[in-house]
């Protein structure tokens, strides 16, 4: 078997068409890492790839990760092209506004497929190759919501992100000896399309300025965290302080605090 050439290792970024995913792709391009970009919106992927191809090689492979067959299809497309993945960025995700019973089960099932099923399967399929690289990286874009008490509205979101954080911690322990570094990036409110898609832009626009993070800075800290082998990265001083407050509050008090403030950040109808 021929040796792995680290200079040819691509970073595969899911959900790369906008927001944090696009910013992470730009950050890797800035560092000279060739890219595989995937998301549902091929036109946006093509536009981003055109911007970045002056710096690095960019391959576009559209995929809808809500489809159960999409992770295997994506893996096979990468393999067919003879591409080496040295970094896996699991970024694709979204929120389902409203209370749990406000949406049909098919909506929740697709959400769970994208946020848990696809991420887990992609990691399982690409992990052997990452271990073979000897310096593989996995960057899982979680959320500060996964470190906070659950709230009303977007009922499955915090649970899915909490899963991703614990999954990342376990992967980091299991694969450290093989040179694979795993990081869960846990940003708070970030300037992106996320809140437009969930219909909560009007609510969250009223939040204080310190709670908003710059997308490019979040991406930079995430990539740095993965390279450094930091299991959890929380961008923003305010969120670092808030995390410590939540950790030291009694659970009941933390839940009461979340219940009091849910209406500021979630549509729980």
pLDDT digits (tens, 9 = 90+) for 96-123: 999 999 999 999 999 999 999 999 999 9
So which residues are the catalytic ones?
157
Q: How far apart are CA 147 and CA 155, in angstroms?
A: 15
Q: How far apart are CA 129 and CA 89, in angstroms?
A: 14
How many other C-beta atoms lie within 10 A of the C-beta of residue 22?
27
Per-residue pLDDT tens over the stretch 17-42: 999 999 999 999 999 999 999 999 99
Residue 8 is classified by DSSP as G
**Please, what are the domains in the chain?**
6-265 (3.40.50.720)
pTM (two decimals): 0.89
| Mean pLDDT taken over the chain | 90
């Amino acid at each position: 078997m021929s040796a792995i050439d680290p200079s040819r290792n691509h970073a595969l970024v899911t959900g790369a068409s906008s927001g944090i995913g696009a910013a992470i792709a730009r950050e890797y391009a800035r560092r000279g890492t060739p890219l595989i970009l995937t998301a549902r919106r091929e036109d946006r992927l093509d536009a981003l790839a055109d911007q970045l191809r002056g710096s690095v090689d960019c391959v576009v492979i559209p995929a809808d990760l809500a489809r159960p067959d999409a992770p295997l299809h994506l893996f096979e497309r990468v393999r067919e092209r003879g591409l080496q993945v040295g970094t896996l960025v699991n970024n694709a995700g979204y929120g389902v506004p409203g209370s749990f019973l406000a949406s049909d089960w098919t909506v929740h099932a697709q959400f769970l497929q994208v946020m848990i099923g696809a991420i887990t399967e992609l990691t399982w399929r690409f992990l052997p190759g990452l271990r073979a690289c000897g310096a593989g990286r996995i960057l899982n874009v979680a959320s500060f919501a996964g470190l906070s008490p659950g709230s009303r509205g977007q009922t499955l979101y915090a649970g899915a992100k909490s899963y991703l954080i614990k999954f990342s911690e376990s992967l980091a322990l299991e694969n450290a000896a093989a040179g694979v570094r795993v990081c869960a990036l846990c940003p708070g409110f970030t300037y992106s399309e996320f809140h437009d898609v969930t219909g909560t832009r009007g609510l969250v626009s009223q939040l204080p300025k310190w709670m908003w993070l710059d997308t490019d800075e979040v991406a930079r800290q995430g990539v740095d965290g993965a390279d450094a082998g930091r299991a959890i990265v929380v961008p923003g001083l305010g969120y670092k302080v808030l995390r410590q407050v939540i950790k030291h509050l009694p659970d009941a008090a933390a839940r009461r605090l979340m219940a009091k403030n849910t209406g500021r950040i979630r549509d729980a109808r």
